[in-house]
Amino acid sequence: MKKIVFCAIAIVVLFAACQKIKNLANINFNIPFSQSVTLPDVQGFPYGATLPGGGLNLPIPPVEVAINAQQIFDQYHASSKNLVEANLANADLQITAPAGQYFDFVDSIQVFISTEGLPEVLMAYLYNVPKGQTKINLIVVPGLNLKDYAVQDSVTLRLNAHVNAIPASGTQMLTEGAFHITANPL
């Protein structure tokens, strides 16, 4: 009887030790992404016009963003099959054109991610966008595991902005970010 109990304890200890060793083998790396987005012109309002009634939502057409996840997994000698977790490490928006355009026209902005076969989810946002800025750091939705999105060759990003004034025609924004990957090669 003592031998059976000892063997059972030894098996549990060995299993726990193997799990700990496996977790020590985890590797971490980032998969960066960036894509330029042109804001749509708002018909019927001149540039800079203040919008009545608290503004309006300005849906920005979705854009496809190349992720090329497999190339980066290969670079780290990892497999997407061994992906443990993928979170959004950071997300930023920067106005790249025209010169002199600031985020003053935006009250809040949300960034949604989707891909074929997976639902659209909010991944980053910023409410109360500061004035006088050409670059803003978005707040990443906490605890959001984007594992199934980060292994794709491309994803679709959709921005939704609540605007209080009309941006200049042809305003371009650069959307940048990175998925933080935890993978286990074992």
Least confident interval from 49-53, 65-69, 128-132, 146-150: 49-53
Integer angstrom CA distances of residue 167 from 38, 40, 88, 104, 106:
11, 9, 28, 9, 9
pLDDT tens digits, one per residue of 133-166:
999 999 999 999 999 999 998 999 999 999 988 8
CATH topology of domain 27-183: Jelly Rolls (2.60.120)
* pTM, full prediction: 0.82
Check whether 113 has a pLDDT greater than 70. Answer: yes
Between these two residues, 57 and 124, which has the higher pLDDT value? 124
In angstroms, rounded to a whole number, what is the distance separating the alpha carbons of residues 102 and 105? 7
Confidence of residue 6 (pLDDT cuts 50, 70, 90): low
* Per-residue pLDDT at 91 exceeds 60: yes
